[in-house]
Amino acid sequence: MTNENVCILLPTLNEEATIGQVIRDFRSEGFDNILVIDGNSKDGTREIAAAEGARVVIQTGKGKGQAIKQAFDLIVEDYVVMADGDGTNLAKDVHAVLGPVLAGEADHVMGNRLVDYEKGAFTRLNLIGNKIINKMFGLAYGVWLEDILTGYRAFNRKAIRSFELKKSGFEVESEITIESVKKDLNIIEVPTTYLARHSEGATKLSPLRDGLKIGSTIYKMARLHNPMFYFGIIGGLFIICGLLVGTFVVMQWFQGVTRIPMTILTTLLIIAGFQMFVFGMLSDLVVSLHRENMRLLRKINEEKND
Ligand SMILES: Nc1nc2c(ncn2[C@@H]2O[C@H](COP(=O)(O)OP(=O)(O)OP(=O)(O)O)[C@@H](O)[C@H]2O)c(=O)[nH]1
Ligand SMILES: [Mg+2]
C-alpha cells in the first residue's frame, strides 16, 4: 500500500500564515494526497495551498463541521487523516495517528493533545473547558477518553461511512467521537504533541460560546445513547428544587406558619423528579434493545459484504 490511499484532510479558514508549512511537512512525511477544505478564506490560504500541491475545495456552507462533512462525502480513499491547518499539530505524529488504523487495530484514532502541549497552546479557560467536557463525555457515554475535542484524527473508510454528522460548527469533534461510540467503532487514543498557534493566525473558536454549544451537543445526544444520564439530570434538578422549597416549608412550619401552596409545589416537584428517573429507566430499556438490534444488523451487513 502506498500513501496515495491516505487522504490528509486539512480544514482551513484564514490560515495563510501556516498552511504552506503544514502541507510541506505532511509531504516530507511521505503524504502527497492532501485535501484542503476551505471556508472561503479572505486571505491567501487557498492560493498557497494550491501552490504547495494540495487539492483545494471551497466548502459550500459555513463552519468546521459542515466542511468536514462535505470533505467526508468527497473522499474516496480508504484512509483519512484529519489535522488542523493552523500548524498546531505536528506532521511527524502522523505515523502514530495513522498506524493503528493501517494495522487494522482501530477504525478511529484520536491524537491526544493533553499529554504533551506547548506552553500557550491552551489558555487556562480552554484547558479547564476541555477537562470538564472530557469528564462529562465519560459520564454520558461510559467511554473515558482523554481528549475528545482533538482535531488530529485518523479513520478508515468504515468509520467515515458510518458517521451521520449534523452539526456545522466546532461541535464536529464531539459529534464524530459520539458517533464512533454509538456505531461501536474501535477507538484508540495516541499521544501527540500540541503546539501553540502561530502568532499571526487568529483562533476561530470562541471558548465560551463554542464550549457551551459542545457541552449542550454532548448532553442532547446522550438522550439516544444514555437516557438515564439525560433524564437523570433533569430529574435531579426537579428533586433538588423540591427539597429546597420543602426545607423552607418545614422551617416555616416550625415557626408556626403553614404554607399550603408551597407544600403542594414541593410534592409536585419531587414526584416529577422521580418520574423523570422512571422515564430514564424505560428509555434505557428501549435504547438497549435498539442497540442490540443495530449490532445484529451491522454484523449481518458486515458478513454480507465479506
Ligand atoms: N473549512 C473551515 N475550516 C475551519 C472553520 N473554522 C475553523 N476552521 C479550521 O479548523 C481548524 C481548527 O480551528 P481553530 O480555530 O484552530 O480551532 P482550535 O484548534 O479548536 O482552537 P485553537 O486552540 O485556538 O487553535 C483550523 O485549521 C481552522 O482554520 C470553518 O468554518 N471552515
Ligand atoms: Mg487550532
Pocket of ligand 1 (CB under 6 A): 11-13, 15, 37-39, 59, 62-64, 67, 84-86, 88, 151, 197, 203-205
- pLDDT at residue 234 greater than cutoff 90: yes
What does the H/E/C string look like for 4-32? HHEEEEEEECCCCCCHHHHHHHHHHCCCC
How far is ligand 1, taken at its centre, from the CA of residue 85, in Å?
Answer: 7
Homologous superfamily of domain range 3-222: Spore Coat Polysaccharide Biosynthesis Protein SpsA; Chain A (3.90.550.10)
Ligand nearest to the CA of 126: 1
pTM listed for this prediction: 0.91
Ligand 1, closest atom to CA 122?
Answer: 23
The whole-angstrom separation of Cα 186 and Cα 10 is 23
Tell me which residue of 126, 89, 113, 71 sits closest to 15, measured CA to CA: 89
Whole-number pLDDT of residue 20: 97
The whole-angstrom separation of Cα 86 and Cα 28 is 17
List the end-to-end C-alpha distance of the chain, in Å, as a whole number.
20
Whole-number pLDDT of residue 202: 85
Ligand 1, closest atom to CA 210?
Answer: 20
pLDDT tens per residue across span 78-124: 999 999 999 999 999 999 999 999 999 999 999 999 999 999 999 99
Whole-number pLDDT of residue 203: 85
How far is ligand 1, taken at its centre, from the CA of residue 203, in Å?
Answer: 7
Ligand 1, closest atom to CA 12?
Answer: 29
> Whose C-alpha lies nearest to ligand 1, atom 6?
64
Ligand 1, closest atom to CA 67?
Answer: 1
DSSP string, 83-105: --TTS-B-GGGHHHHHHHHHTTS
Strand order across the 153-156 sheet: 55-58, 34-38, 6-12, 79-82, 153-156, 108-117, 187-194
The whole-angstrom separation of Cα 218 and Cα 230 is 10
Q: 225 CB contacts (<8 Å, ≥6 apart)?
A: 140, 141, 178, 181, 182, 287
> Whose C-alpha lies nearest to ligand 1, atom 31?
63
pLDDT tens per residue across span 143-195: 999 999 999 999 999 999 999 999 999 999 999 999 999 999 999 999 999 99
Ligand nearest to the CA of 172: 1
Q: What is the percent of the chain with per-residue pLDDT over 70, rounded to a whole number?
A: 99
**pLDDT confidence tier of residue 201, bands split at 50, 70 and 90:** confident
